[in-house]
Amino acid sequence: MNLHYPTVQLTISIAVCQAIDQGFDPTRRNVVIFHQLLLAYLRGTAAVVPILKPGKDPTQPSSYRPISLLSSIRKIAENIILI
């Protein structure tokens, strides 16, 4: 399951958890904090590149489609976190 939460909500949740007894698995909280910091660092690092559609006029803006190039480090980190 891949859920996205606003950073503010995640920060509040972590603060609330720190005020409560650690429970049986304190490592999980550390993973959440790492995930939050890593994604905050890597957020917005995509480069948008226009690619010419086959057989289209290169002088027309509508002849291009955008693709996003993401950081390889971001892709690897997201896969590690999702495992």
Q: What mean pLDDT, rounded, does the chain reach?
A: 72
Over residues 37-51, the pLDDT tens digits come to 666 666 666 788 999
The model's pTM: 0.39
All residues at 6 or more sequence positions from 49 whose CB lies less than 8 Å from its CB, including other chains: 66, 67, 68, 69
pLDDT recorded at residue 1:
44
**How many other C-beta atoms lie within 10 A of the C-beta of residue 32?**
15
Sequence spans of domains, the chain? 1-43, 46-82
Cα separation, 24 vs 44, in Å, equals 35
